[in-house]
Structure 1
Amino acid sequence: MDIRHLKIMIAVAEAGSMSGAAKKLYITQPAVSQVVKELENHYGCQLFERLGKGIYITEAGKLLCSQARMVIRQFDTLQENMQHMRAREVLKVGSTITVGACIIPGLMADFQVAHPTVDPYNFVNNTKIIEARLLQSQLDIGLVEGAVQHPDLVVEPVIPDYLVIICSPHHPFAGRTFIDARELENETFVMREDGSGTRELFESFARNRGFHVKIGWEVTAPEIIKTIVQKNNALAAISIRLVEAELNNGSVYVIRHPENSWHRNFNLVYHKHKQITAGMQGFMELARKIGSREIPSDHAFGMLR
């Protein structure tokens, strides 16, 4: 028994005859009679009484028609929804907090202009959580700043970036040409949460240089990090791409590492068995285009040594 059986059953009930249903459905009368017989055998009860040349629906037949109409409505809704899904791709994008703050808003605005038939969903969190969701097929593609190690994930570096240390213009480091790394030992830092690629990179540097990072604040939102730095005389390690406006208006002082130790890439990440859809391809192309642009380098920076 399938949806075709139910549609023929309803047609017979509405037409009041096998021939009328056959005419309405553009099939033969024997085909209609066969379907009704199959339904009666399937349910083990009579659906129509045959009296002379007329047929009359039974109580069992009325119940079946009533339930069948609901099933057919649900089936038709399912068909419409699936056709809509076929016409419009849903793209589930995961981005880390740094990327979500400085790259994703502009990228997605361009993406929706270029791909109006794709419905994007964006999820912003740290690298570890994005990685887990990609592995569980909860996301289609990610753009992250942290290291991704799982062998089932494809990682493509696309957007260059580097960390800087920022401080308030009133901090003792502000305006200094050189700052010794050992001086960082006594400073209070605003740090990202565990699982952040930014935090992982800076703490790795600190371990290699033999100093302990004193964490006074643990914050996920870049805008809050910058506010704390400006108002609380703290330091923070942050992406250069997140402080472009502050560099231009002089509200923070930036300290760079001269040996490029804090350079990194924002990486496209997706499962190696994932079918690359048109939406995924379009997203990757736009990310690569952003990666070809220059990042800020024409400002006066302090240097760490």
Structure 2
Amino acid sequence: MDIRHLKIFIAVAETGSMSGAAKQFFVTQPSVSQVIKELESHFGVLLFERLGKRLFITDSGRYLSRQARIVIRQFDELEESMLNAGRTESVRVGSTITVGACLLSSLMADFKKSNPEIKTFNYVNNTKMIEERLLRAELDIALVEGQIKHPDLVIKPVIADYLVIVCGRRHRFAGQQQIKIKELEKEVFIMREKGSGTRKLFMDFIEKNGFNLNIGWEVTSPEIIKTIVMKNNCLAAISIRLVEEEAQNGDIYVIKHNEHSWNRTFSLVYHKNKHISKGMLGFMNVTQAYGNTGIITDVPVGMLI
């Protein structure tokens, strides 16, 4: 078995066919079939179920797919570093949408100050998509606000955050010091898309308290969410870090939960088998320097009870 075996196997897993992988590698379909047979013989497991003309990857195949991507990425990194010794290092950083909106630009600016020689690629999406890219070795490290539970990923909490409910200055909740939880049932909410860590945290709270939520909007962009809140008399659950300016100038009114149920942390995430490069270490150091700073405390707020 060599690295080419694994690359062909990944191609079969991604395309779902021997012929698709054969086209990618400019070989015959029987050659691809032989590679899969050799891998199955080597590991003593069935990697694909063959039903008619279709292939279905097995649990063993899915496990090998995850691990093979890491091995291939490490091999490619080794080859690249040996061929380009002394040239520019690169790091691929992922962040969830909330982190991307409120922190990523500042983080990367600070990173470039201390690591000007390192090239960076940044990818912003929801927690689910970031997790998938880390597992496929398409990202080196990420900063996320959602929960990640995959056993192959290392999670290190680094930056404090919490959710708040926000409304516009003309909303009936604006200026109220106390709002009862049941009052939320009467309101229209803007929610992040499924796969968002912000949405999951808030929906877990809703389910725990046993009431219905009227979701009138589903939006991926924090800036659009804030605009809708201010112009359409809706409510939204959002990171406190995203509404600092609007809360301070009075365009948005902030409502906290009195039991701190929406407290969370932004966490660094990377694969457990990942080699910690200089670029990854530099990004870790920058995020840890942010610590508990940046959460506003000097604006009037309401309290959900």
Calculate the TM-score normalised by the size of structure 1. Answer: 0.72
How far, CA to CA, are the matches of 2:208 and 2:188 in structure 1? 19
Match of 1:60 in 2: none
How far, CA to CA, are the matches of 2:169 and 2:162 in structure 1? 21
How far, CA to CA, are the matches of 1:173 and 1:114 in structure 2? 45
Match of 2:272 in 1: 272
Q: What do the CA deviations read for 1:7-61 (whole angstroms, capped 9, x no partner)? A: xxxxxxxxxxxxxxxxxxxxxxxxxxxxxxxxxxxxxxxxxxxxxxxxxxxxxxx
How far, CA to CA, are the matches of 1:246 and 1:213 in structure 2? 25
How far, CA to CA, are the matches of 1:185 and 1:109 in structure 2? 42
Q: What do the CA deviations read for 1:42-99 (whole angstroms, capped 9, x no partner)? A: xxxxxxxxxxxxxxxxxxxxxxxxxxxxxxxxxxxxx999754752111101100000
How far, CA to CA, are the matches of 2:233 and 2:156 in structure 1? 37
How far, CA to CA, are the matches of 1:86 and 1:165 in structure 2? 50
Whether contact under 8 Å (2:164, 2:257) holds in the other structure is yes
What SS does structure 2 have at the residue aligned with 1:87?
coil
Measured after TM superposition, the shift of residue 247 of structure 1 is: 1.3
How far, CA to CA, are the matches of 1:105 and 1:262 in structure 2? 24
Query: Which AA in structure 2 matches 1:162?
Result: Y
Match of 2:285 in 1: 285
Whether contact under 8 Å (1:178, 1:303) holds in the other structure is yes
Match of 1:197 in 2: 197
Measured after TM superposition, the shift of residue 175 of structure 1 is: 0.5
Distance of aligned partners of 1:82 and 1:200 in 2 relative to their CA distance in 1, 3 Å threshold = same
How far, CA to CA, are the matches of 1:241 and 1:83 in structure 2? 43
Larger radius of gyration: 1
Measured after TM superposition, the shift of residue 148 of structure 1 is: 0.2
Q: What do the CA deviations read for 1:236-288 (whole angstroms, capped 9, x no partner)? A: 00000000111111110000001110000000000001000011001001101
Whether contact under 8 Å (2:158, 2:265) holds in the other structure is yes
Whether contact under 8 Å (1:87, 1:117) holds in the other structure is no
Q: What do the CA deviations read for 1:142-172 (whole angstroms, capped 9, x no partner)? A: 1000000000100000000000000001000
What SS does structure 2 have at the residue aligned with 1:156?
strand
Match of 2:249 in 1: 249
Could you tell me the percent identity over the aligned residues? 58
How far, CA to CA, are the matches of 2:167 and 2:122 in structure 1? 31
Query: Which AA in structure 2 matches 1:190?
Result: I
> Which stretches in structure 1 are left out of the alignment for 5+ residues?
1-78
| 1:216-235 alignment runs, 5 A limit | 216-235=216-235
How far, CA to CA, are the matches of 2:139 and 2:91 in structure 1? 8
Match of 2:238 in 1: 238
Query: Which AA in structure 2 matches 1:89?
Result: E
Query: Which AA in structure 2 matches 1:144?
Result: V
| 1:99-248 alignment runs, 5 A limit | 99-248=99-248
Q: What do the CA deviations read for 1:167-187 (whole angstroms, capped 9, x no partner)? A: 001000000010000000111
Match of 1:14 in 2: none
Distance of aligned partners of 1:170 and 1:107 in 2 relative to their CA distance in 1, 3 Å threshold = same
How far, CA to CA, are the matches of 1:288 and 1:81 in structure 2? 27
Distance of aligned partners of 1:233 and 1:275 in 2 relative to their CA distance in 1, 3 Å threshold = same
Distance of aligned partners of 1:156 and 1:81 in 2 relative to their CA distance in 1, 3 Å threshold = closer
How far, CA to CA, are the matches of 2:251 and 2:91 in structure 1? 37
Query: Which AA in structure 2 matches 1:281?
Result: L
Measured after TM superposition, the shift of residue 299 of structure 1 is: 1.6
Match of 2:300 in 1: 300
> Which stretches in structure 2 are left out of the alignment for 5+ residues?
1-78
Q: What do the CA deviations read for 1:167-223 (whole angstroms, capped 9, x no partner)? A: 001000000010000000111001000000000000000011111111111000000
- How many residues were matched structurally? 227
Query: Which AA in structure 2 matches 1:169?
Result: R
Query: Which AA in structure 2 matches 1:140?
Result: D
Distance of aligned partners of 1:295 and 1:84 in 2 relative to their CA distance in 1, 3 Å threshold = same
Calculate the TM-score normalised by the size of structure 2. Answer: 0.72
Whether contact under 8 Å (1:128, 1:195) holds in the other structure is yes
